[in-house]
Amino acid sequence: MARSITYITGSQLLSVKRRPNIAVVDVRDEERNYDGHIAGSLHYASDTFLDKIPSLIEAAKDKDTLVFHCALSQVRGPKCARRLAEYLAEVKEETGIKNIMVLERGYNGWEASGRPVCRCTETPCKGE
C-alpha cells in the first residue's frame, strides 16, 4: 500500500517552509527557468521524474516531509507525488520520508497570492 498524499495550502507552507525537515519539490518543466520559483526548492522536472527518484531521495535524506508542486498542482505535481509514494512502497527502502504533500494551487497560486519568489538561476537554488 502506497502512503496517502495530503494537500497543504500556500499559507500553511509559508509558515513551515523554513523548517529543516521540509523540502519543496518543483516538478515543473522548462517554466521554472523563466517564471521564478519558491526559494530553496529542489527541481525535478516531471518529464524525467521517474528516473531521478533515487537522486531526489538522496537530496532529501535529512527531510521527512516533501511538498510537491507544479504550475497549478493539478496534474504533474500530484502525479509525481504519487510516483514517489509508489516507489517507496515498492523498494521498502528506509528513507525517513514520512509525509508526501502537494501544494494547493501550485506555483501560480503561490505567486498570485504575493508570496515570496526567487528568480535566481542557480542549481540548486540557494535562496533562504
Using CB under 5 A as the criterion, which residues of the chain lie in contact with Zn ion when the complex forms? Answer: 118, 120, 125, 127
Complex with Zn ion: residue 60 or 125, whichever CB lies closer:
125
Say how far apart CA 33 and CA 9 lie, in whole Å. Answer: 24
Cβ 5 to Zn ion, closest distance in Å?
A: 25
DSSP 2: P
Cβ 111 to Zn ion, closest distance in Å?
A: 13
CB-based burial of residue 87 (10 Å sphere; 0-12 exposed, 13-18 middle, 19+ buried)? middle
- Based on the residue annotation, tell me whether 125 is a catalytic residue of this protein: no
Complex with Zn ion: residue 109 or 127, whichever CB lies closer:
127
Say how far apart CA 127 and CA 17 lie, in whole Å. Answer: 12
Per annotation, catalytic residue among 70, 80, 120, 125: 70
Cβ 127 to Zn ion, closest distance in Å?
A: 4
Residue (of 3, 8, 2) closest to 25 by Cα position = 8
Catalytic center residues: 70
